[in-house]
Each structure stands twice: as C-alpha cells, then as structure tokens.
Amino acid sequence: MVAWLLALFKIRNILSETAAVHRLGLVRILNPINGGRSHIPSGHIRVGNWINGRDMRIVRIGAVIGQVQVIPSGEKQWIVNYRIDLKTFNEIY
C-alpha cells in the first residue's frame, strides 16, 4: 500500500492513569493503477486517488515501513519512485 503522509501528531489520554502516548500519522491512501504492476515504459508503479472517497486514515507511526518519492503524473495520478536516485529523477523530469 502507498500512502501520502499529511500530518504527524501525538495523543495522550490525560484521564487515564497510565497516560500512554500514541504517535500517529494522518495519511491519504493511494490506489495502485494497473493492479500494482509496473508501468512498462518507465518500470515504475503508478498510483491514483481512491474512487470511493475513503482515502484518509489515521495510522500508528510504527506501521510505516519506508519512504518513497511520489511524483505527479497527470491529473490525480502519481509515479512511485522507490529507488530515489538521481538517474531516475532525471529520467522522469
């Protein structure tokens, strides 16, 4: 799953005796285009917005596996650059 990080925040229940702190992130889930298979000319995965409008979620920061560069490609579509190297960046731009 690819998600766009919109905000980071922490929450603490001050009424609780343990007062545990939860570190959370607000993300926008992006839908894989072409079933998540790579785009043949570029070799990259392409993503777009969810169609049903349920694309915003709050997740634990610990659930985040890694980072990618999300590059705009058309209206409401992005290319996922998981390699993030200068050669790939220059090919796209």
Instruction: Look over the chain and give the mean of its residue pLDDT values, rounded to a whole number.
Output: 79
Predicted confidence band at 37 (pLDDT cuts at 50, 70, 90)? confident
Beta strand ranges found along 1-93 (DSSP E): 2-12, 21-32, 45-49, 56-60, 69-72, 77-81
pLDDT score of 75: 79
Is residue 24 over pLDDT 90? yes
What would the mean pLDDT of 60-74 be, rounded to a whole number? 81
In 10 A of CB 93, how many CB atoms? 6
pLDDT score of 53: 65
pTM for the structure as a whole: 0.65
Separation between Cα atoms, residue 54 and residue 68, nearest integer Å: 22
3-state SS assignment for residue 61: helix
Is residue 60 over pLDDT 70? yes
